[in-house]
Amino acid sequence: MRPLLIAALLAAATLALSSGPASAAPKLRVCGNLTAGNGLLIGDVTTKRVRCPLARDIARAVPERCGTDGGDFCTVRGFACVTGRAAPELRLARCSKSRANSQLFRTIWFEFGS
């Protein structure tokens, strides 16, 4: 009886250790760098739960809609965006769209400047 109990415990431990997490974190997508129509450089476009073509379109629109001074808020295609001044010619931006209890369910991060 004892070997059967040990075998059952080992099987249960192996099963518990081999199963993955209940919900995996969403993968981040790196969408690269681009240039806006006015020559403004937009870099390091990274997203969570947003496809790259949409993320690039939003990143191109943010400097015009939010402004280039930093500390501004705007809405672009349903995403709430905020920009902040990181250096004299560098701005950081984050655009997000909430869902259920997560304010950052769909998120786009990027930087822009000259």
Q: How far is CA 58 from CA 20, 42, 52, 64, in A?
A: 35, 11, 10, 11
- Residue 64 maps to a domain: yes
- Residue 81 maps to a domain: yes
Tens digits of residue pLDDT in 57-81: 999 999 989 888 877 899 999 999 9
Residue 53: which domain range? 24-113
Calculate mean pLDDT across residues 39-66: 94
Amino acid at 99: R
Quick one: what percent of the chain has pLDDT higher than 90?
58
Q: Write the DSSP assignment of 71-98 as a string of letters.
A: S-EEEETTEEEEEEEEETTEEEEEEEEE
- Residue 4 maps to a domain: no
pTM for the whole structure: 0.76
- Residue 82 maps to a domain: yes
- Residue 29 maps to a domain: yes
- Residue 43 maps to a domain: yes
What is the spatial distance between Cα 109 and Cα 100, in angstroms, rounded to a whole number? 21
- Residue 89 maps to a domain: yes
Quick one: what percent of the chain has pLDDT higher than 70?
80
- Residue 51 maps to a domain: yes
Q: When comparing pLDDT for 58 and 7, which is higher?
A: 58
Domain count, the chain: 1
Residue 92 dihedral angles phi and psi, to the nearest 5°: -105, 145
Q: When comparing pLDDT for 12 and 88, which is higher?
A: 88
